[in-house]
Structure 1
Amino acid sequence: MRGTDDLHRLTGWLAERMPAASGLRIENADRITFGHSAEITALALAWTEGGTARRRDVVLRLCPPSPGLLEPYDMARQFTILRALEPTAVRGPAVLWLDESGDVLGRPFYVMAKVPGQVYEQHIPAELEASPTTIHRMTQGIIEQLAAIHSVDPGERGLAGEGEGRTYLADQLAHWSAELRRVRKDRLPALERLHEALVERRPVPSERITLVHGDVKPGNFAFEGGEVTGVFDWELAGIGDPLADIGYLELFWNVPVHFTSRPAALAFEDAVAYYERLTGIPVRHRDWYRSFQTFKTCVILLVGTMMFDSGASDDLRFAEMGLAIPHYTRAALRDLGVADDLDPGPVRASRERYREVRDRLAAAAS
């Protein structure tokens, strides 16, 4: 949100949806900076109702400006999925109100209840490091929530319109390949070979078609007392092959910045066994699914890098995304049995652009 005019319009819009609230006001509006996609703002609402002072903490999720990292964004679709999950065991945040028009803040958004707990995205605090029992329980909770997501009946929850899911893997490969071609500056031999290998070796998908989260990594869960309190970032959710989520989770499980990499965490083999017990879904072809999610991740990193390089974003985090692409691509090719040492191509932001933005931001901050 850009300033007092936005807050004024938002206050009026919220007041229309809270007719019993007298004197509604937004006391705090704090931007939440983790993540790379939607703009997230924590709001403290205060009002009087029936002579009693009331207060509620909510979170506003605003569609990012175009071009974005995960185009196309569909805030109404996210809202629909989260609303459908509210009666289930999935601990998604309760959604409250949706603006599809963009008339209030210039872009679509929805408002959801604030979830208690803490997100551990890129750090592990000392108090958590000192509690191996908590870490172990947190990793169990992630698997329990993933099982809950994959146990949702899409038809029963009104999500049948999200697709029937049988062509999910082919559709995903086509989508991310198209994104690669859209943003690349030149040929990218390693990533292009990875896509070819994935198509050549695509396995028979899981017999079970489920709701798929699409971005199920440790940093998209909130915890309180070792228990999962929230599952976030549903931009990539759809109906399809549940093993895609297993591949994505495995890709990030042992990354050192995540608590799932700690000795007290479930080993991923044990996590898979626990998942199979909870869902009855056999986990097969893990190398392929992990490589598939590596390809998707590399394309997202490339999109961010090219957004920065083209001037669409001045976010220095986007400039650094391309640095990981060669390493990830080589690992995925090895997993698929491709030994070729291929040139990654132009996957990094230009040094000149990086220095220009860095110096300009530093000067503005001084």
Structure 2
Amino acid sequence: MSSADPRGLDLERLRARLDQERPPLTAGPLSGRLIEGGRSNLTYEVTDGIDRWVVRRPPLGHVLATAHDMKREHRVIQALHGTAVPVPSPFLLCEDQEVIGAPFYVMEYVEGTPYRSAAQLAALGPERTRTMVTRLVDTLADLHRVDPEEVGLAGFGHPQDFLERQLRRWGKQLTASRSRELAGIDELHEALGRRRPHSPAPTVVHGDYRLDNVLFDDADRIAAVLDWEMSTLGDPLTDLGLLVMYSTRLDLPESPVSTTSGAPGHPDPAELVERYAARSGRDTSQIAWYTAFAWFKLAVILEGIHYRYTLGQTVGAGFDRIGELVPVFIEHGLTTLQEG
């Protein structure tokens, strides 16, 4: 690997594999950069000076634990390409770790803008904000209309007892990161277990569906849905519950966890649910449970980050404030479940 290569990506070896598997995709030597902002798998922009592509690989030092993610992400993108769900065109999946040191895949570079905060949306004005968030909901309904078997995703996940397994999984995650008393967290987990709804027929579930995981083009249309690493077959309303959670105002100044609902024109959670129900035809009467579950999951995730911060295992700004957010998320979860 040369000094010009971004960390974790050998561009010469990458080009050799592309020339071998997808000629004549590249027209010359490659250059590339790491795209900041990823939470787990690493994302690179690569170009030959004429065209651009995106390369995804597991995080450095965790190849074996996450090697399956590359095949999984590539599979769902390949399956959804050509459906009503906009995804980048997939070009290559390489499971040979000898090429760049880890499995990876290459996909189309899609022009577009991710919107990560209410402040970004506010700059667009209320009409554009409303249009974009509405399209976000419509695209989620379109995703949940895709027949997994028709697009080759039968067996992509294990949807039976999906919610029960999700609750058990996140309960174990909480146990693994528990380092302090958290009032209400066990009460919330137990209440979710008691009131667990009956899931509808399984669909493709994105797993982390929110505004900053899509790209919008200049006409405010969704150009691509990204970050499929948590996708599976399961209960579609878990996606909606997460979207509702991220569309709820936290009113926490300088919070490292941002929601988008503070922007003028942003539909409120009830409108999002109504829009989804109208477009999908699904029963959303139990959405309070799914939203409370989303609050619980995020509380567990944040507590894990806080725990690693106390051990000195995190680097960067904002981690010192994560711990104080956890009780806020727990309280939102309890309130949502009680009011639902």
2:161 maps to 1:157:
no
Counterpart position of 1:138: 132
SS in 1 for 2:11: helix
SS in 2 for 1:246: helix
Shift of 1:181: 1.9
Contact 1:307 1:318 in 2 (8 A): no
Shift of 1:191: 2.3
> For the residues of structure 1 that align with 2:87 and 2:57, how far apart are their CA atoms?
17
SS in 1 for 2:102: coil
Give the residue type in structure 2 aligned to 1:103: E
Counterpart position of 2:332: 331
Report 1:206-217 matches (<5 A): 207-217=200-210
Counterpart position of 2:17: 13
Counterpart position of 1:357: none
> For the residues of structure 1 that align with 2:333 and 2:11, how far apart are their CA atoms?
46
Contact 1:218 1:258 in 2 (8 A): no
Q: Pick the aligned partner of 2:164 from 157, 170, 173.
A: 170
Shift of 1:118: 0.3
Shift of 1:57: 1.0
Shift of 1:9: 2.3
- Change beyond 3 A, Cα 1:304–1:108: farther
> For the residues of structure 1 that align with 2:238 and 2:111, how far apart are their CA atoms?
28
Q: Pick the aligned partner of 2:73 from 78, 81, 84.
A: 78
2:115 maps to 1:112:
no
Counterpart position of 2:270: 269
SS in 2 for 1:161: coil
Give the residue type in structure 1 aligned to 2:29: R
Shift of 1:215: 0.6
- Change beyond 3 A, Cα 1:122–1:262: closer
> For the residues of structure 2 that align with 1:136 and 1:323, how far apart are their CA atoms?
31
Shift of 1:122: 3.2
Counterpart position of 1:234: 228
Shift of 1:274: 1.7
Shift of 1:318: 4.7
Contact 1:308 1:315 in 2 (8 A): no
2:33 maps to 1:30:
yes
Q: Pick the aligned partner of 2:243 from 243, 249, 273.
A: 249
- Change beyond 3 A, Cα 1:92–1:179: same
> For the residues of structure 1 that align with 2:142 and 2:74, how far apart are their CA atoms?
19
Give the residue type in structure 2 aligned to 1:277: A
Shift of 1:195: 1.3
How many residue pairs match? The answer is: 326
> For the residues of structure 1 that align with 2:97 and 2:104, how far apart are their CA atoms?
7
TM-score (norm 2): 0.86
Give the residue type in structure 2 aligned to 1:64: P
Shift of 1:315: 4.0
1:116-137 deviations in Å (ceiling 9; x for gaps):
11001136348x6243221121
Shift of 1:278: 1.2
- Change beyond 3 A, Cα 1:259–1:306: closer
1:280-330 deviations in Å (ceiling 9; x for gaps):
111022221111111111222223333444455434455543331111012
Give the residue type in structure 2 aligned to 1:272: V
2:196 maps to 1:202:
yes
Shift of 1:102: 2.7
1:180-208 deviations in Å (ceiling 9; x for gaps):
22233356553233211211221222x33
Q: Pick the aligned partner of 1:60 from 55, 60, 63.
A: 55
> For the residues of structure 1 that align with 2:79 and 2:326, how far apart are their CA atoms?
36
- Please say which of residues 264-273 and 309-318 is displaced more in the overlay: 309-318
2:97 maps to 1:102:
yes
- Please say which of residues 134-143 and 58-67 is displaced more in the overlay: 58-67
Give the residue type in structure 2 aligned to 1:204: H
- Change beyond 3 A, Cα 1:281–1:121: same
> For the residues of structure 2 that align with 1:274 and 1:2, how far apart are their CA atoms?
51
TM-score (norm 1): 0.80
Counterpart position of 1:129: 123
Shift of 1:175: 1.2
1:152-211 deviations in Å (ceiling 9; x for gaps):
101111111123523111111111112222233356553233211211221222x33211
Contact 1:301 1:322 in 2 (8 A): yes
- Change beyond 3 A, Cα 1:132–1:196: same
Identity of aligned residues (%): 31
> For the residues of structure 2 that align with 1:324 and 1:166, how far apart are their CA atoms?
33
Shift of 1:227: 0.9
> For the residues of structure 1 that align with 2:298 and 2:12, how far apart are their CA atoms?
38
- Change beyond 3 A, Cα 1:319–1:64: farther
2:36 maps to 1:43:
no
Aligned alpha-carbon RMSD (Å): 2.7
Report 1:296-335 matches (<5 A): 296-335=297-336
Return the structure number with greater strand share: 1
